[in-house]
Amino acid sequence: MRSPRLIFALIALLAAALPAQPPSSYADAAHLRVQLVLPQSALYPGGSNKAGLSFKLEPGWHVYWQNAGDSGEPPVMHWTLPSGVTATPLQFPAPSRLPLGPLMDFGYENEVTFPFSFDVMQSAKPGPAVFDAKVAWLVCREVCIPGKAELGIRVQIVASAPASVTTSSVDEALWQRGEASLPTPLPPADKALFQPTQTGFRLGVETGRRETQAAFFPADQTVIANPAPQKLTPTPRGFVLELQKDENLAANPAQLNGVLELSGGRNYVLSAAPGTVAIPAPAIAWVLLLRSAALAFLGGLLLNLMPCVFPVLFLKGLALVNSGSEERRKLRAHGFVYTAGIVASFWVLVAALLALRAAGSKLGWGFQFQSPIFLALMASLLFFLGLSLAGQFEIGLTLTSAGGSLAAKQGYAGSFFTGVLAVIVATPCTAPFMGAAVGYALSAPTAVTFAVFTALALGLAAPYVALTLQPAWTHLLPHPGAWMDVLKQAVSVPIFITVIGLAWVLSNAYGADALAALLGGLLLLAIAGWFLGRWPAKRWSTAIAGIIVIGAIALAVFSPRLAEEPPAASGTVESATAAGWQPWSADAVSRYQSQGRPVFVDFTAGWCLSCQVNERVALRRPEVEQAFQNSNVALLKADWTRHDEAITQALTAMGRDGVPAYALYTPGNPDPQLLPEVLTPGIVLDALSKLPRTATQASAATSN
């Protein structure tokens, strides 16, 4: 028998003779896949020798930028390379703001590639070589998990540039996406200055155009307060950004360094020198103000035709029929009180919106319908009103009577609160002609904002006021009779349809448990209505009904299913994706534009009636869908049913503050073409026909 030592020696020699197997070029770790990217199969001296480190992340998880923000660490690599080869540092694409409670991180979600390159010197030995890397990272969501992997790639080193180099299309695509998202130097013609203030810094940048969207990411930590809102003031040739100083900053920096992100996916490396930055005094453009006020007034008129608003107006019509013989002074008083209710409600909503924005919240018109508690309370109020109209009980003279001394007092209150109710149910959608006016008003000085919304309120109140100012017109209305009870009961049908719509929005955005809580509250309201109808005008029955109503309100306000965070994905987005639409993001718009594709964005919400009508009347028509396909248009849906800060910022950048809004982007143009708020197939087809025709679109049209 041979010596065991001899056998082991032979095995060792055989193992040494086998080629070394490099580690894999990718690794699957907790919540991500990390991969080395090498588009070309051969490296040579003087070549571009591009490479990259790519992360594919699970939804909701992120890795970090070079300045991670308030917490976190960026990815790092340590190489083991053959003699004569070095690797450049990782380059970091422009990051995103990632809020986490009171903190703000800077990093990347979904997918990111960090480009770098290999420098090959003439002394490098030609032939196959193995490049090894140790990679470490931190991946976070609500919790953070450190990760590491040993990756490797086998590379062919050649002495000079070959006639042709084989490339990997997958690696090339990853590298190009990473390269395209790298911030570029600020153009020489542009100018950036910063000025220290008592609380922070004032950053002024001139780009040669009026900028309506900007975000600054500091290259150094403890310079600015990362979570603080960055107030933007557009200027004719750029913008001014107000930044809050970090509480740990001991001395002002000599330069303000970082990355500047502008609309349309433009990202620049910024080094701002100290200087004087003046904020221009806001000027009121009277022509634009008058035009916006006129459009707002017209939009207010059209709001009366909305299915949710018209039944409320009908209630006031009943009051006019009942009081047709009333003296002119009282009729006018009711008209003015109704108008006061509408104007006051608009002022309260606008004041609340402006106050929340001043505190740092990014909200848009109709923001209250993004609250599950508001949706539940609104559905409950309309359901209770519908029960009364349907005849279960008499809601009283508050909304429907205007006669007698005591009744007159209640009638005025009814007129006022009917105006309040009209405003509440009118805000989910911006009617035709209103989108641009609302967007202008909410971005203008406070006085202009209230002026435009006052015009909107007057337009909403105008039809009823016109009838009260001209009592003779009330004779055109039918005389009181039994038909009024039948018609009043019929009006309860659209009220209940509205309740169903609100329940659908609540369920779609917040899940079946939230819907169950709402249905429980509606059942309590039905029981309260039964007490009021079975024993009318009894104090004890009214007290019991009041207690039950309070219970229904408490169920809507304090239900944990309504207060907790909504599900990650809503049915609106899921159905949109199934129909060929994809969820919107600013990165998706930039990515498709970089591929040479037009992009159509539908800014919508489940509670927006106009949005749903436009979708069915225009966007889902077969000829429109075919035109999208022939033009190779990428379809993105920005679902604003729940609050989304990114969507709010995108609407603001376009001069809009509500939905519906429709934006058509062309390749290479960061500014979209905005389509009207009311769509027809012809409007969409006409916009698509004016797109520049590319070879890809021609090929798509031919294949169809």
Q: pLDDT per residue over 300-357, tens digit each?
A: 776 666 555 555 565 555 555 555 555 666 767 777 887 888 888 778 777 776 665 5
Which of 20-29, 69-78, 107-116, 401-410 has the weakest average pLDDT? 401-410
Give buried/exposed letters for 249-277 (b at 16+ CB in 10 A, else e). beeeeeebebbbbbbbbbbbebebeeeeb
Residue scoring higher pLDDT (600 or 431): 600
Tell me the two tokens of residue 64. 């970090």
Contacts of 613 by beta carbon, 8 Å cutoff, 6+ apart? none
Quick one: which of 61, 74, 64, 60 has its CA closest to 107?
A: 64
How far apart are the C-alpha atoms of 396 and 405, rounded to whole Å?
A: 15
Greatest alpha-carbon pair distance for the chain in Å reads: 127
Question: Partners of 64 in the beta sheet?
Answer: 107
* Helix extents (H) in 224-308: 286-303
Contacts of 465 by beta carbon, 8 Å cutoff, 6+ apart? 335, 336, 338, 339
CB 455 within 8 A of CB 293: yes
Residue scoring higher pLDDT (326 or 184): 184
Q: What is the pTM of this model?
A: 0.46
Topology alike, domains 21-182 and 571-703: no
How far apart are the C-alpha atoms of 553 and 555, rounded to whole Å?
A: 5
**Position 56 confidence tier, pLDDT thresholds 50, 70, 90:** very high
* Helix extents (H) in 359-445: 372-390, 405-426, 435-443
What is the model's pLDDT at position 552? 81
What mean pLDDT is predicted for residues 9-13? 53
**Position 478 confidence tier, pLDDT thresholds 50, 70, 90:** low
Phi, psi dihedrals of residue 75, rounded to the nearest 5°: -65, 150
For the domain with range 21-182, which CATH number is right: 1.10.10.10, 3.40.50.300, 2.40.40.20, 2.60.40.1250? 2.60.40.1250
CB 223 within 8 A of CB 256: yes
What is the model's pLDDT at position 563? 46
CA separation, residue 105 to residues 11, 60, 69, 114, 217 (Å): 53, 13, 4, 18, 10
Has residue 658 got a pLDDT over 80?
A: no
Each residue's pLDDT tens digit, 237-272? 899 999 999 988 888 999 999 999 998 789 999 999
Has residue 432 got a pLDDT over 60?
A: no
**Position 579 confidence tier, pLDDT thresholds 50, 70, 90:** low
What is the model's pLDDT at position 359? 52
What is the model's pLDDT at position 106? 95
**Position 49 confidence tier, pLDDT thresholds 50, 70, 90:** confident
Most confident residue range from 177-181, 302-306, 406-410: 177-181
SS3 45: coil
What mean pLDDT is predicted for residues 553-569? 57
Task: Provide DSSP, 542-610.
Answer: HHHHHHHHHHHHHHHHH-HHHHSPPPSS-HHHHHHHHTT-EE--HHHHHHHHHTT--EEEEEE-TT-HH
How far apart are the C-alpha atoms of 670 and 270, rounded to whole Å?
A: 20
Residue scoring higher pLDDT (405 or 146): 146
Which of 459-463, 559-563, 583-587 has the weakest average pLDDT? 559-563
Most confident residue range from 429-433, 539-543, 562-566: 539-543
Phi, psi dihedrals of residue 523, rounded to the nearest 5°: -60, -45
Has residue 673 got a pLDDT over 80?
A: yes
Each residue's pLDDT tens digit, 207-236? 988 888 899 999 998 899 999 989 888 888
Tell me the two tokens of residue 477. 């209305």
Has residue 456 got a pLDDT over 60?
A: yes
Question: Is domain 571-703 classified as CATH 3.40.30.10?
Answer: yes
Percent of the chain with pLDDT over 70: 71
Most confident residue range from 75-84, 504-513, 608-617: 75-84
Quick one: which of 176, 204, 188, 320 has its CA closest to 273?
A: 204
Give buried/exposed letters for 39-61 (b at 16+ CB in 10 A, else e). bbebbbbebebbbbbbbebeeeb
What is the model's pLDDT at position 35? 95
What is the model's pLDDT at position 46? 79
Mean pLDDT of the chain: 77
What is the model's pLDDT at position 435? 44
Domain boundaries, the chain: 21-182, 191-274, 286-563, 571-703
Q: Is 11 exposed, middle or buried (0-12, 13-18, 19+ CB in 10 A)?
A: exposed
Question: Partners of 33 in the beta sheet?
Answer: 28, 56
Residue whose tokens read 């971005």: 443
Amino acid in the structure at residue 280 = P
